[in-house]
């Protein structure tokens, strides 16, 4: 196998060392701020510096994640932080925010920039755009298939566009495409785009359709990605780096996963699948990357780690055990102390949820302990009472061949609960069965898993210590001088760059009195480069006389001094030199001074109104009002891709004929593929020939190379700052919908800090989309009988959700928080679009919005009917005619009367309250 980079995660310096020592070629980490894992331990600047030095001495690269969205108030702080990283000599920065990309390119052009998966570079045209804008590596979304990546790579090479390609190859999968999820932000005040996701996808839900319960469980939870058996396919697709997910994971997890993938990449044999099963996983899938269907990616039966399935309990024998270890008379005896310790070990139970993460020992049996019967019982025991309990001898019939060892964690699936023990005794074991003892209240048929490996954890101890791996070959050419000192020419290569230096020893050879120093003696000492970055590959020694002597201590000193000089060169190779650093600092200070002085006057002007609609009836109603743009999203009108592209041209022609005063804007499909772009271009050209003027809106940069028309930026571009506006304006976007996660103050700062020829728009009304996913709700746990509104059976039993038409929807209900109900729509690609339970309504804030420097407000009337659409447009136009607060509140009351959802102001007034 060729050399794909193995890129490992680390959430702390201790785990960073483990990742390096386990064989990672590169490690990605985050500082205390601006990373997408806000709840990881993360790194101080000093720890980053220490990590970079340790990594580089081991010939391992270090990438820093700045993969969150940044507002204008944070610009100076983030640039000062990037400057520190620049001086430290990090190998690359992973970026999500378009504005951060532009700023780093402008101020620190020598830093390599990797586009985060959240940037959603998912087709050739966005990849082309990425290369043109200074991206050195594209991290593709997890939803992209290997076939699509192969095609993108081929087209990039045809255009002589050089860029590295990276994919996630192992670990957790986000339910939402590219991690662009807003459900946590809108409903919990903690934005996934700021690293503060509350993981609503791991909760339990009910799925309902037309009032009937379809399924229940962890319906949005995915299996974990595992590509270890298909690495050759990734290499053949042109992948340069495979990334392992897990900055929130334990040291056992990181060491095991890195070691397993490293051995496979190096062609070493071993049962590495078994090792991967022993650390945290939600069962494995090949993922969308390897063309799995959505139903095979989703793990709806569980959201946590169960472990590797062993088999079922087939036999139980109970014994009543009398334990007098708490008898007052005997409790101080050495023998009882010993028995006490033994019993504690044999019967130590653990809370599975805590055990699965290896985080702490807060056992489930101790929950609310002081109020429990056990507490009172134990109190009596401590006062001198005897304790009795039932011990069970358990026989498990193995369905999978796996060896269980003392100290392993065994988990029991008991109904919908997982309980476990650390195994401290094994009575018998062979390939077909295992017998052991436990005090757990088990039943015949309970499923048994092994979920923790004592041996793997034991192996971890060997790689926890700091040590340097000798990876860089060095050649030495030794020449003796006339004064019997040695001049040594030292050469080595580092990242395709040749280094050479001359070393002159202070130590001298001398005439041998007894045994002379041989060439073999010299080589033996110089070869001892353990725990250093170098190994001696070749030694040449010319004109050496066989009657010379030099002490071994002197040879060791020569070796140490050569290594020390080599390490200095190695570390300086990565660091920014002082001249470049001073130049960058001057440039940064000048920028900061200018930025602080920027304060463009915001002109108060009447806001335009635009609207999103998803069918012709709505469009006809909307065209009766004085709207600037009608964003027409026909993605939900058809149930297959074939029917969409067969009929969409006719639909757009009809739409164009019904619009006379407003601008018709075609909302391109979300996560649009190259094949869909080509088909859409053909339709666009046909419409132009028919005299139908049409514009385009998309979340993909680079489409100006495809469509010769006005191109507008959709909300999934995640525009959070004025520099994002600047780079997207340069990319020929004519308007941008600013992020709905922003507060009014953050929006105003964008206007104050920019003076661009581009329009700013804001979504002010609608049940906003919180998730777009490739999940088609197939492979549900339960088969169900589909019924119509009359309760009549319309189809036979099935285990996938089938809706009657494109504008139909299902309901996703949080099992514990019943008020959290979301509508689920399918587009023509069977992607699911989950719509927020609450309706954003800012009509009573129009007075404030008018002062933010915006050009238009947008009403999202998709997923509603034409009457509602007409009413909402009419009410907002009335609001703009009279911004008196009393009038606006009255209009909001009217909206409340016709709304089926709770009205919310989202993050507009106070921002994301709980993200810190």
pLDDT tens for 158-167 read 999 999 999 9
pLDDT digits (tens, 9 = 90+) for 722-740: 999 999 999 999 999 999 9
User: Are 389 and 427 in contact, with CB atoms under 8 Å apart?
Assistant: no
Does pLDDT of 170 surpass 70? Answer: yes
> What would the mean pLDDT of 621-644 be, rounded to a whole number?
96
Burial of 130 (0-12, 13-18, 19+ CB in 10 A): buried
> What would the mean pLDDT of 764-787 be, rounded to a whole number?
84
- Kindly indicate the confidence band of residue 134, based on its pLDDT and cuts at 50, 70 and 90: very high
Residue 200 is predicted with a pLDDT of 86
Residue 439 is predicted with a pLDDT of 87
Structure tokens at 636: 């939900």
Residue 34 is predicted with a pLDDT of 79
> What would the mean pLDDT of 163-188 be, rounded to a whole number?
90
Residue 73 is predicted with a pLDDT of 95
- Please, which residues have CB within 8 angstroms of residue 730's CB and are 6 or more apart in sequence? none
HSE (side-chain half, CA atoms, 13 Å) at 135 = 30
Residue 181 is predicted with a pLDDT of 85
For residues 110 and 383, which has the higher predicted lDDT (pLDDT)? 110
Does pLDDT of 141 surpass 50? Answer: yes
Residue 360 is predicted with a pLDDT of 36
- Kindly indicate the confidence band of residue 178, based on its pLDDT and cuts at 50, 70 and 90: confident
Query: Measured between alpha carbons, how far is 729 from 713 in angstroms, rounded to an integer?
Result: 10
Please tell me the chain's helix, strand, coil percentages from 3-state DSSP, rounded to the nearest 5: 35, 25, 40
Which residue in 775, 834, 720 sits closest to 119, CA to CA? Answer: 720
Query: Measured between alpha carbons, how far is 235 from 584 in angstroms, rounded to an integer?
Result: 37
> What would the mean pLDDT of 696-707 be, rounded to a whole number?
97
- Kindly indicate the confidence band of residue 833, based on its pLDDT and cuts at 50, 70 and 90: very high
Does pLDDT of 791 surpass 60? Answer: no
For the chain, the average pLDDT equals: 89
Residue 186 is predicted with a pLDDT of 81
Residue 1 is predicted with a pLDDT of 66
Which residue in 721, 590, 591, 588 sits closest to 83, CA to CA? Answer: 588
Does pLDDT of 352 surpass 50? Answer: no
Residue 568 is predicted with a pLDDT of 95
Alpha-carbon separation of residue 312 from 300, 414, 684 (angstroms): 21, 11, 60
Residue 16 is predicted with a pLDDT of 96
> What would the mean pLDDT of 590-600 be, rounded to a whole number?
95
User: Are 90 and 60 in contact, with CB atoms under 8 Å apart?
Assistant: no
Which residue in 45, 42, 108 sits closest to 81, CA to CA? Answer: 45
> What would the mean pLDDT of 257-286 be, rounded to a whole number?
93
Q: CA Rg, the chain, in Å?
A: 32
The label of the residue with tokens 């309901």 reads 811
- Please, which residues have CB within 8 angstroms of residue 456's CB and are 6 or more apart in sequence? 252, 255, 256, 275, 278, 279
- Kindly indicate the confidence band of residue 802, based on its pLDDT and cuts at 50, 70 and 90: confident
Structure tokens at 579: 């001249």
Stretch among 218-227, 327-336, 825-834 having the lowest mean pLDDT:
327-336
Residue 364 is predicted with a pLDDT of 35
Does pLDDT of 127 surpass 60? Answer: yes
Burial of 659 (0-12, 13-18, 19+ CB in 10 A): buried
- Kindly indicate the confidence band of residue 341, based on its pLDDT and cuts at 50, 70 and 90: very low
Pairing of strands 534-542, 472-480: parallel
User: Are 718 and 739 in contact, with CB atoms under 8 Å apart?
Assistant: yes
- Please, which residues have CB within 8 angstroms of residue 646's CB and are 6 or more apart in sequence? none
Residue 327 is predicted with a pLDDT of 46
Residue 387 is predicted with a pLDDT of 63
Structure tokens at 103: 């700023």
For residues 508 and 783, which has the higher predicted lDDT (pLDDT)? 508
> What would the mean pLDDT of 636-661 be, rounded to a whole number?
95
pLDDT digits (tens, 9 = 90+) for 845-857: 999 999 999 999 9
Q: Mapping DSSP to helix (H, G, I), strand (E, B) and coil, where does residue 409 land?
A: strand
Share of the chain above pLDDT 70, in %: 90
pLDDT digits (tens, 9 = 90+) for 414-452: 877 888 899 988 999 999 999 999 988 889 999 999 988
Residue 300 is predicted with a pLDDT of 93
Share of the chain above pLDDT 90, in %: 75
Q: What are the structural domains, with CATH classification, of the chain? A: 5-173+223-297 (3.20.20.70), 308-321+388-464 (2.40.30), 472-574 (no CATH), 608-768+840-904 (3.20.20.60)
Residue 167 is predicted with a pLDDT of 98
- Kindly indicate the confidence band of residue 97, based on its pLDDT and cuts at 50, 70 and 90: very high
Burial of 319 (0-12, 13-18, 19+ CB in 10 A): exposed
């Amino acid at each position: 196998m060729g050399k794909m980079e193995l890129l490992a995660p680390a959430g702390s310096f201790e785990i960073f060392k483990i990742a390096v020592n386990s064989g990672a070629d590169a490690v990605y980490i985050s500082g205390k701020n601006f990373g997408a894992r806000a709840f990881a331990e993360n790194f101080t600047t000093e720890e980053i510096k220490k990590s970079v030095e340790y990594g580089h001495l081991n010939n391992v690269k270090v990438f820093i994640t700045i993969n969150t969205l940044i507002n204008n108030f944070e610009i100076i702080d983030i640039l000062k932080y990037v400057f520190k990283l620049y001086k430290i000599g990090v190998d690359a920065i992973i970026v999500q925010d378009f504005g951060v990309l532009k700023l780093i390119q402008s101020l620190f052009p020598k830093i390599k920039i990797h586009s985060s998966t959240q940037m959603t570079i998912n087709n050739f045209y966005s990849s082309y755009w990425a290369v043109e804008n200074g991206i050195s590596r594209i991290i593709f979304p997890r939803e992209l298939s290997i076939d699509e990546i192969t095609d993108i790579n081929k087209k990039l090479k045809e255009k002589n566009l050089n860029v590295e390609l990276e994919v996630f190859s192992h670990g957790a999968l986000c339910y939402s495409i590219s991690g662009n999820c807003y459900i946590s932000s809108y409903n919990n005040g903690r934005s996934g785009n700021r690293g503060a996701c509350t993981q609503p996808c791991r909760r339990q839900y009910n799925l309902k359709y037309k009032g009937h319960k379809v399924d229940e469980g962890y319906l949005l939870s995915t299996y974990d990605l595992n590509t270890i058996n298909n690495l050759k396919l990734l290499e053949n697709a042109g992948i340069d780096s495979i990334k392992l997910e897990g900055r929130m994971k334990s040291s056992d997890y990181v060491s095991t996963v890195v070691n397993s993938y490293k051995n496979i990449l190096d062609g070493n044999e071993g049962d590495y699948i078994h090792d991967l099963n022993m650390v945290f996983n939600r069962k494995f899938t090949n993922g969308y990357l390897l063309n799995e269907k959505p139903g095979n990616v989703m793990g709806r039966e569980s959201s946590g780690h169960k472990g590797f399935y062993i088999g079922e309990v087939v036999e139980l024998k109970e014994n009543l055990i009398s334990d007098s270890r708490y008898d007052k008379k005997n409790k101080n005896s050495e023998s009882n102390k010993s028995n006490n310790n033994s019993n504690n070990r044999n019967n130590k139970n653990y809370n599975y949820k805590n055990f699965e993460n290896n985080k702490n020992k807060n056992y489930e049996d101790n929950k609310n302990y002081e109020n429990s019967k056990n507490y009172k019982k134990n109190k009596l025991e401590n006062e001198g009472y005897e304790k009795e309990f039932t011990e069970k001898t358990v026989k498990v019939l193995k369905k999978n061949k796996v060896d269980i060892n003392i100290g392993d964690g065994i988990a029991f699936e008991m109904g919908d609960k997982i309980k476990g023990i650390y195994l401290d005794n094994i009575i018998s074991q062979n390939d077909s069965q295992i017998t052991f003892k436990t005090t757990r209240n088990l039943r015949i048929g309970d499923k048994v898993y092994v979920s923790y490996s004592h041996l793997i954890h034991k192996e971890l101890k060997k790689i926890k210590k700091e040590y340097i791996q000798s990876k860089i070959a060095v050649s030495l050419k030794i020449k003796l001088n006339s004064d019997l000192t040695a001049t040594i020419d030292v050469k080595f290569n580092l990242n395709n760059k040749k280094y050479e230096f001359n070393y002159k020893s202070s130590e001298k050879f001398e005439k041998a009195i007894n045994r002379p120093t041989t060439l073999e003696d010299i080589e033996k000492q110089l070869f001892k480069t353990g725990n250093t970055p170098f190994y001696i590959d070749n030694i040449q020694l010319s004109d050496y006389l066989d009657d010379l002597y030099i002490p071994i201590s002197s040879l060791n000193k020569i070796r140490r001094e050569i290594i020390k000089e080599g390490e200095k060169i190695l570390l300086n190779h990565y660091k920014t030199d002082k001249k470049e650093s001073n130049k960058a600092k001057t440039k940064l200070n000048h920028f900061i001074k200018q930025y602080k002085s920027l304060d463009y006057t915001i002109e108060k002007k009447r806001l335009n109104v635009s609207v999103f609609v998803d069918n012709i009836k709505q469009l006809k109603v909307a065209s009766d009002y004085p709207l600037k743009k009608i964003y027409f999203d026909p993605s939900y009108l058809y149930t297959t891709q074939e029917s969409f592209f067969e009929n969409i041209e006719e639909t757009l022609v009809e739409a164009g004929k019904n619009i006379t005063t407003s601008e018709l804007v075609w909302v391109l499909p979300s996560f649009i593929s190259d094949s869909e772009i080509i088909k859409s271009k053909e339709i666009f050209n046909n419409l132009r020939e028919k005299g139908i003027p049409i514009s385009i809106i998309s979340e993909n940069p680079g489409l100006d190379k495809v469509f010769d028309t006005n191109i507008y930026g959709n909300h999934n571009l995640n525009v959070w700052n004025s520099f994002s506006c600047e780079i997207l304006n340069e990319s020929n976007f004519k308007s941008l919908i600013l992020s709905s996660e922003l507060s009014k103050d953050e929006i105003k700062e964008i206007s104050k800090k920019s003076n661009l020829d581009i329009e700013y728009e804001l979504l002010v009304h609608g049940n906003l989309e919180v998730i777009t996913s490739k999940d088609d709700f197939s492979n549900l746990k339960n088969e169900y009988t589909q019924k119509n509104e009359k309760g009549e059976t319309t189809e036979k039993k099935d285990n996938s959700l089938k809706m009657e038409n494109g504008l139909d929807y299902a309901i996703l209900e949080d099992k514990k928080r019943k008020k959290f109900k979301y509508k689920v729509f399918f587009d023509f690609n069977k992607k699911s679009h989950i719509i927020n339970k609450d309706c954003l309504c800012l009509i009573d804030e129009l007075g404030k919005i008018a002062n933010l420097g915006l050009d238009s407000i947008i009403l999202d009337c998709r997923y509603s009917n034409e009457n509602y659409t007409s009413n909402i447009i009419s009410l907002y136009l009335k609001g703009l005619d009279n911004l008196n607060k009393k009038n606006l509140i009255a209009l909001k009351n009217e909206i409340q009367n016709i709304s089926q959802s709770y009205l919310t102001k989202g993050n507009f007034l106070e921002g994301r309250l709980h993200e810190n």
